[in-house]
Structure 1
Amino acid sequence: MGWRVGRGTEISVWEDHWIPGKEIDGWGHQTESEVKLLADLIDAENSEWKTELVEHTFTADITEKVLQIPLTKNPEADIQIWRGELSATI
């Protein structure tokens, strides 16, 4: 499962899968980071990423992926989505 970013209030930066094409393993958990929820990285007033904070929080390759995630001007709730393969087998 993954997430479609809305307000970012339901998405854990370090525990949820929210970056398309990037698994959480391999980019580490920032235990001392003040960033906990994705909403911490979003300027809610302008519906933009807090670019400097994103750059400070992640490596360059992760930062690039994060900044490519579009944010809507009228954010709604975060939505969990299926990111797996479609299969007839249940």
Structure 2
Amino acid sequence: MDISVMNDAWIPDLSPTRLSSLVYNMSDAKVAELINTNSRLWRKELIESTFPEEIADRILRIPLAINPHDDLLAWSDEPSGEYTVRSAYKVLQSLDEDPSAYVLQTDYKGFYNKLWLLNLPSKIKITVWKASWNYLPLRANMQQRRLTNTTICSRCIVEQRR
């Protein structure tokens, strides 16, 4: 009974996944409070008066278990409901946000195959791979990934421009 109405992703296919930006009057409420414990039905009047119509409809379509049990978080992208690195990787691969990354990957596939087959120490192969993908921890890369906000060159003490 610990799933938070506001801070946990409990409504299927909702974007954004958390309600904290959409509903303001249920800051500490738990999902269990939206369920009538005797009838095991959603408290429809409360839900319809609290949430926007589209969200209320989504909530009311969530089937409830006949027998009460402790809440559990489930990973929606895996049939078992358990999070795995493999399923997260599949989700990331299915995103269409940066199709150029896939194109680059296929264009350089032969290069990478040859790189991994070279008789070199692994740390050199990995460094070449990181350099080819701009993964080296250079200030410009770190700033682009928002790992630092420093724009001053440590060598010449001059602010870098992008």
TM-score in terms of structure 1 length: 0.75
User: Unpaired runs of 5+ in structure 2?
Assistant: 79-86, 91-162
For the residues of structure 2 that align with 1:75 and 1:28, how far apart are their CA atoms? 28
- Tell me if structure 1 keeps the 8 A contact 2:7–2:19: no
For the residues of structure 2 that align with 1:84 and 1:27, how far apart are their CA atoms? 24
- What is residue 18 of structure 2 aligned with on the other side? 24
Counterparts of 1:7-86 in structure 2, within 5 Å, are 9-22=1-14, 23-24=17-18, 27-30=21-24, 32-33=25-26, 36-84=29-77, 86=87
* CA RMSD of superposed structures (Å): 2.3
Q: Which runs of 4+ in 1 moved over 2 A?
A: 32-35
Q: Which has the higher contact order (CA 8 A, sep 6+)?
A: 1
**Structure number with larger C-alpha Rg:** 2
Larger helix fraction of residues:
2
Judged with a 3 Å threshold, the aligned counterparts in structure 2 of structure 1 residues 74 and 26 are, in CA distance, closer, same or farther, namely closer
Tell me the matched-pair count: 79
The Cα offsets for residues 37-76 of structure 1, whole Å up to 9 and x where unpaired, read as 1111110111000000000110000011000001112021
User: Unpaired runs of 5+ in structure 1?
Assistant: 1-8
Larger strand fraction of residues:
1
For the residues of structure 2 that align with 1:49 and 1:79, how far apart are their CA atoms? 18
Give the share of equivalent positions with the same residue, in percent. Answer: 33
TM-score in terms of structure 2 length: 0.43
